Amino acid sequence: SYAMDLHQRSPIGNDAIIQYMLSWFQLPHNITMTFWLSQILQGLAMKYAIDHWRRSKPRCMGTLYWQLNDCWPAASWSSIDWKGNWKALHYFAKRFYNPISITAVESKEENSCSIWVVNDNLEQIKADIVCNLMNANGDIIWSKSTQNYQIDSLSSTMVEKICFDFDFDYKNTFFNVTLLEKNIPISSDTIFFERPKYFELQKPNIKWKLFPMESDNLKTIMEIKCEKPAFWVWLDIPDLLNKFSDNFFHLFPNDSKKVIICEKLEALSKLDIQIHSLYSCRNEEIEI
């Protein structure tokens, strides 16, 4: 549209967004989902790069990205929009800049995954590592856990290279690794063996409920569950400046996610709360 072109400050901006989006994802069914998916695309691209640079420590000792915020509505490269809402990239950045981060690198050629842990803190820690290879239904087809793995301070370490000794459907299989300290997840990563556009998404059937936060009555906790894998789940409350403790996260069956919302429960009950995932981008039916 004329308005979108006017607010696009890069001469190749809108065309480049669509080109890269179609390389990684299926074309969304409407313009609203296209806006959302473009944010996920940006966050994913930045995550790939920054995860790599952090693994390269000490060869690379830091990264900054452009840009933080916007002065007007635009399809731009900022991570915070003109109203102050966090876009997908800002939630991604909160996770990929976590001082202690676990990541996985896939290799179809070697039928393997390499697990890396980065610790930018001055103290070493011991943590558990849980790896799951899962199919489109969320069934675990392979699993492994490591207890009390010592993570040295100021380090980047390849923990393990996992070579799978069996074949599986690359298009419809994903790998998740989680780092837990005292049974509390502190970092996780999910990777695909093919680009997500080929993944046969199942309807996740996301369910949620709200309850007050006992320690702060100005905030509300939302607990979210799903029946099938839900990728890049995001919350949106159009009439509220969106302030969530987390957003654009993956959710798997038998797990639950608690998100803190900076608003009273009484006020939230009167607002339009929407929850979407990658499945929403392909299908016109509303998930929530």
Domains and their CATH numbers in the chain: 2-96 (no CATH), 100-198 (2.60.40.10), 207-282 (2.60.40.10)
User: Of the spans 77-86, 170-179, 277-286, which averages the highest pLDDT?
Assistant: 170-179
Mean pLDDT of the chain: 94
Task: State pLDDT tens for residues 55-86.
Answer: 999 999 999 999 999 988 888 889 999 999 99
Q: What is residue 203's predicted lDDT score, i.e. its pLDDT?
A: 97
Please report which confidence band the pLDDT of residue 285 belongs to, taking 50, 70 and 90 as the band edges: low
Q: Are 138 and 228 in contact (CB under 8 A)?
A: yes
Mean of the pLDDT values across residues 110-128?
Answer: 98
Helix (H) or strand (E) holding 142: strand 140-151
Task: State pLDDT tens for residues 252-280.
Answer: 998 999 999 999 999 888 889 999 999 99
Q: What is residue 195's predicted lDDT score, i.e. its pLDDT?
A: 98
DSSP labels for 159-200?
EEEEE-SS---GGGEEEEEEEEETTEEEEEEEEESS-GGGS-
pLDDT over 70 at 122, yes or no: yes
Q: What is residue 72's predicted lDDT score, i.e. its pLDDT?
A: 84
pLDDT over 80 at 33, yes or no: yes
> Residue 58, SS3?
coil
Q: What is residue 286's predicted lDDT score, i.e. its pLDDT?
A: 56
Closest CA to 116 of 154, 155, 164: 155
How far apart are alpha carbons 70 and 80 in whole angstroms?
Answer: 7
pLDDT over 90 at 13, yes or no: no
pLDDT over 60 at 288, yes or no: no
Judge if the upstream peptide bond of residue 58 is cis by omega within 30 degrees of 0. yes
At 269, the amino acid letter reads S
Q: Are 268 and 14 in contact (CB under 8 A)?
A: no
Question: CA distances (Å), 184 to each of 28, 137, 181, in order?
Answer: 35, 25, 5
pLDDT over 90 at 9, yes or no: no
Q: What is residue 8's predicted lDDT score, i.e. its pLDDT?
A: 77
Please report which confidence band the pLDDT of residue 34 belongs to, taking 50, 70 and 90 as the band edges: very high
Mean of the pLDDT values across residues 214-243?
Answer: 93
% of residues, the chain, pLDDT over 90: 83
Backbone angles phi and psi of 240, in degrees to 5: -135, 140
Mean of the pLDDT values across residues 231-240?
Answer: 93
Mean of the pLDDT values across residues 200-223?
Answer: 95
Of the given ranges (112-121, 145-154, 251-260, 267-276), which has the lowest mean pLDDT?
Answer: 267-276
